Amino acid sequence: MYNFFLITQAIISIILTILVLLQASSGSTSNIFSGGGGETYHTRKGVEKLFFYATIVFGAFFVINSLLLLLY
pLDDT of residue 34: 55
Binned at pLDDT 50, 70 and 90, residue 63 comes out as: very high
8: amino acid identity, one letter: T
pLDDT digits (tens, 9 = 90+) for 9-22: 999 999 999 999 99
Instruction: Give just the sign of the alpha carbon dihedral 4, 60, 41, 47.
Output: positive
Q: In angstroms, rounded to a whole number, what is the distance separating the alpha carbons of residues 39 and 37?
A: 7
More confident residue, 68 or 26: 68
Residues 6+ apart with CB under 8 A from 5: 65, 68, 69, 72
pTM here is 0.72
pLDDT digits (tens, 9 = 90+) for 20-53: 999 866 555 545 555 555 556 677 788 899 999 9
